[in-house]
Amino acid sequence: MSVGFPLLSLIIWLPILFGIAVFSTGGDHNAQPARWIALIGSILGFLVAIPLYTEFDPTTSVMQFTENRVWFERFNVNYHLGVDGISMPLILLNCFTTPLVVIAGWQVIQQRVSQYLGAFLMMSGIVNGVFASLDAVLFYVFWEASLIPMFLIIGIWGGPNRVYAAIKFFLYTLLGSLLMLIAFIYLYRSSGGSFSIADYHQLSIPFTAQILIFIAFLLAFAVKVPMWPVHTWLPDAHVEAPTGGSVVLAAIMLKLGGYGFLRFSLPIVPDASHYLAEMMIVLSLIAVVYIGLVALMQADMKKLIAYSSVAHMGFVTLGFFLFNAYGVEGAMVQMISHGFISGAMFLCVGVLYDRLHSRQIADYGGVVNKMPFFAAFFMLFAMANAGLPGTSGFVGEFMVIMGSVQVNFWYAFLAATTLIFGAAYTLWMYKRVIFGAVASPAVEGLQDISNREFILLAVLALAVLWLGIYPFPLTDVMHVSVDNLLEHVSNSKL
Amino acid sequence: MQTLYLLVPIAPLLGAIIAGLFGRQIGTVWSHRATISLVFISFIASLIIFVDVLGGNVFNGTVYTWLVTGDTHFEIGFLIDQLTATMMVVVSLVSLMVHVYTIGYMHGDPGYQRFFSYISLFTFSMMMLVMSNNFLQLFFGWEAVGLVSYLLIGFWYTRPTAIYANLKAFLVNRVGDFGFLLGIALVLSYCGTLDYADVFEQAPEIAKQTIEIIPGSSWLVITVICILLFIGAMGKSAQFPLHVWLPDSMEGPTPISALIHAATMVTAGIFMVARMSPLFELSDVALSVILLTGGITTLFMALVAIVQTDIKRVVAYSTLSQLGYMTVALGASAYSAAIFHLMTHAFFKAVLFLGAGSVIIAMHHEQNMEKMGGLKKYMPITYWTMFIASLASAGVPGFSGFFSKDTIIEAVGFATIPYAEFAYYCVVATVFVTALYTFRLFFMTFHGEARMDEHTKSHLHESPWVVTLPLIVLAIPAVGAGWFIGPIVFGDYFNNVIYVLPEHAAIEKLGAEFTGIGGMMAHALTTVPFWLSVAGIFTAWFLYTIKTNWPGKIKSAFGPVYTVLDKKYYIDELYSWLFAGGARALGSVFWKFGDMKLIDGSIVNGSAKLVAWTATLVRRFQTGYIYHYAFTMIVGIFAILTFWLH
């Protein structure tokens, strides 16, 4: 459905404009107005995105809410926007997360408030742009632009080792995306001068070129996801990032990589995708098993959750390369669910960090005695992280495992080990942090969550439960688009 | 009637929400009032449904569509038949009694409301599990009862042993669930649906197909599926080698030991296999695996029970052994006997646990039987109900346990598949052991001299009525439930639910000889198990009331044997070294060597170092002196000219 109203532009630019407005409040003497403008902007940003779901037509895979204007006529670059069932849920996830991040930073951030909040709002708009772009250049611009706010958030408001982490993050991801640009230029030339992603989907490409393009895309997307072995930037970035940064990084940024595979790798170079599928599956399974074991050994809560993110995102890439509906839809659900759960987990660690200024598991113990409400929420999210049925964490993993067994029993076997490892690392951490007798005078002095924190965690808890108990509305909108994608991928383009 | 179906799980869920979220506001009394009345509603609804099912009204339908992917509809739905209805009545009755009992047992505990919330949540989950009409919802309930079990074992969260035990229980169960989920995945991949009825319809087709899990060796698909599903049952129903979590689960408060870790949750695996009889029947290999597992569990866990001194642990090992009986029955295709034993066991074991709990209250939370003794005169109701349950447990004719256990033993005798003989000797030998450990507990606790300190002794008294009432109510079926064996096991009660191949028809053969419960009891007097049982009771009586110094002598005479039993065959030590230690060691290697050294050290930081090194080299040329630049330029020009003119 194409409405005359430029809804997608609004969804992209409204947060960015609000971000600029927040910036313009200046120094910290205006912190309070900056917070309120940011909150209003982020909530408006979510509200304007709601029609995307309510007006969405789930019976077609055609791009909806399209906008198309000429940008650089000479190179045939267009400001071309549109969404389908694959990108729409991700935009909603992003718009949903932004207000939470603003609220999470409400009291915690006391320095350069306007810049911090402005960065998040701009980030939100830019990410919406990535998901809505139907033009490769536009996509690339948004893609690279999204690095800047996150780089600054880690580099300015991060922990002691923030500069190393920020630069590692930046270089890792930049290196990947440069190759993607080269792939775009190749596609531009071979398509006879088009940057339209839809045109690329129709292009026939020789096998060797497909492989090279696949690898170029792979480097860009694998770093973002992140897949093993290019994941090592993530734990560092998370550990140093402020809570809000970690939430956006895990909930949103990682999804850019996953989205890239669906929008570019699979449909543009299907033959290469099939040819290299086994390699991709093996890398994904390494992420599940190897990273699951690495997570077990972490002493730092944020690192543990970061590693757990890598393991969970392994399910996403695994699902994509099974080339069946269970796998791809499961991977999509897993991306949305991971957005909720990892966001919530990082917020939970943030709640503790704000009080004790430590992320070390060993510094805690017996928190439940002092923070029972917090412990209850944390239990829910920990269980969701361990993939308990009834929470969103189960749905995606279940579907992907169902999909893998149809391809190869051993894929499913290795993927299903997450049932054990996921529970082991999450609940062992939970046990050491939350259960037991009060471990130290510092824990003795802990205060239970404030109303602000309660609202944040309650909203996420509802989201996690809703998606676990009734995921139908989510899969319903992506169904036709995924089917279309699968059909597309099954046709050779040599 | 369909509203009633919904009411059965929803009522306890509502109770859990009320007590869980608003427990502080409404206080302790209203928390237990709300949850108990809602569970009571669930129990009444279950009874009505049970009567309705007896009238022939079965139901199979969808509640809502959970998810649609590809062409597959995943649904939440109910299947109400004889098996479900039986389970619903057992679960809701035991749950109701445990709710009432909890008022007394948890009195004054700071987590009072939380406890009620959990047990109601458990009732909801268990109902969803047994009422399911598809594998997905079964798995939902399966994991949900595991969650509640985890929460309840760790209920006293400041105790290190409790939070160790609950983590262990969850992880061991997850190992089982791992197999279970793979089994479900294979079912879906071969049948294209997870609906029981559709899957069972296709089962004969699948039975002909083979799969190559390991290249070169081909397996029947149905065997692989059944073994994987059974691994799930081994986790939940605590069968060797996944039994290790159940004894430790006794760290939880006693009411949940009765409800979850004896009467209901742990029987979920038995229920599941019986429900899947149309699949399991088609694989003799899977049935043999079940027989072997069940046989080992029955005998070897019962032996451990003899040396335990903690009253709850004796009952816990007894539960393991009794679950072994049920498993053996499943392997012998005596599904109805397994379910019947599940039912009688739920009642007599609930009494044993709740009675043990009553003793523990009287003893001021002392659980060591060596410090008990002579409690008979202080606690008459507890004494007599425990006596009844002990007789049922030991399989004395007339009591419920006799009918179910004897049927299982006879049925295994008829089974002809591999390992049936092994299982038969295990279950027969265990009759003696069962009688011995059950009455050892009984005599050590209630008879002989009182071994507690004076302070405890002066405060000994019978428990309040909220504790004794459930004991009495549950003691009635602990005796009488067995009398219905005729219609339930040998009649046509389970005809449309349980499927048995003609060549596995052990129960049918037994049924042909069945002449009523009187005849069954009379016949039993001529069989070995009866005399073994009598011998067990006599031995316990002799050792623990007459020659009370003999057990100590026997212990030192058989030192190594005693140690092995006391250490539970060193399985815990093996697992914690092999699996917990192994996973940690592997995780360390992957992290410290793989991530830090190899990827970050050599590749990431290595490439950064390479750039830095190159930059240092190149920087040497950027000196700012014109003659350096001029020199470089001249070298360059020469190089280019050489290349060009060559």
pLDDT tens by residue, B252-280 = 888 888 888 888 888 899 999 999 999 99
Give the separation between CA B28 and CA B407, rounded to whole angstroms.
Answer: 45
Residues of B numbered 166-205 whose beta carbons fall under 8 angstroms of chain A's beta carbons: which are they? 167, 170-171, 174-175, 177-178, 181-182, 184-186, 188-189
> How high is the pLDDT of residue A320?
93
Residue A76 tokens read as 């045939």
> How high is the pLDDT of residue A97?
92
Contact check, Cβ <8 Å, A472/B189: no
Q: How far is CA B510 from CA B273, B327, B339, B418, B635, in A?
A: 21, 19, 16, 20, 104
Grouping H, G, I as helix, E, B as strand and the rest as coil, residue B69 is strand
pLDDT tens by residue, B558-573 = 888 888 888 888 888 8
Size of interface A-B (CB pairs under 8 A): 133
Point out which residues pair with A83 in neighbouring strands.
Answer: A64
pLDDT at B90 over 80: yes
Which residues, 6 or more positions from B283, have their beta carbon under 8 angstroms from its beta carbon?
B207, B220, B222, B223, B226, B227
pLDDT at A3 over 60: no
> How high is the pLDDT of residue A2?
45
Nearest to A472 among B66, B144, B174 (CB): B66
Contact check, Cβ <8 Å, B154/A435: yes
Give the separation between CA B334 and CA B291, rounded to whole angstroms.
Answer: 11
- On whether any CB of chain A is under 8 Å from the CB of B63, the answer is no
- What integer best gives the mean pLDDT of chain A? 89
> How high is the pLDDT of residue B261?
84
Q: Average pLDDT of B417-425?
A: 89
**How distant is the alpha carbon of residue B405 from its chain centre?**
19
| Cis ω for the linkage preceding A99 (within 30 of 0) | no
Grouping H, G, I as helix, E, B as strand and the rest as coil, residue B212 is strand
**HEC assignment per residue over B182-203:** HHHHHHHHHHCCCEHHHHHHHH
Grouping H, G, I as helix, E, B as strand and the rest as coil, residue B66 is strand
Grouping H, G, I as helix, E, B as strand and the rest as coil, residue A386 is coil
Q: Average pLDDT of B576-588?
A: 83
Q: ipTM value of the model?
A: 0.90
Query: Cα distance from A401 to chain B (closest Cα, Å)?
Result: 7
Question: Which band of pLDDT confidence, cut at 50, 70 and 90, is reported for residue A308?
Answer: very high
Contact check, Cβ <8 Å, B68/A366: no
Q: Are the CB atoms for B447 and B545 separated by under 8 Å?
A: yes
Residue A15 tokens read as 């947060």
- On whether any CB of chain B is under 8 Å from the CB of A78, the answer is no
> How high is the pLDDT of residue A1?
42
How many other C-beta atoms lie within 10 A of the C-beta of residue A123? 28
Residue B516 tokens read as 């009523």
- On whether any CB of chain B is under 8 Å from the CB of A390, the answer is yes
Residue B102 tokens read as 């909890």
Minimal Cα distance from A399: which residue of B?
B69
> How high is the pLDDT of residue B529?
86
Angle at B95 between CA B89 and CA B96, to 5 degrees: 90
pLDDT tens by residue, A212-264 = 999 999 988 998 888 888 888 888 888 888 888 889 989 998 999 999 999 99
Q: How far apart are the first and last CA of chain B?
A: 99
Query: Cα distance from A88 to chain B (closest Cα, Å)?
Result: 18
Lowest mean pLDDT: which of A150-154, A438-442, B372-376, B428-432?
B372-376
Backbone phi, psi, residue A16, to 5° = -65, -45
DSSP A29-75: GGHHHHHHHHHHHHHHHHHHHHHHHHT--TT--S-EEEEEEEEETTT
> How high is the pLDDT of residue A412?
92
Contact check, Cβ <8 Å, A172/B604: yes
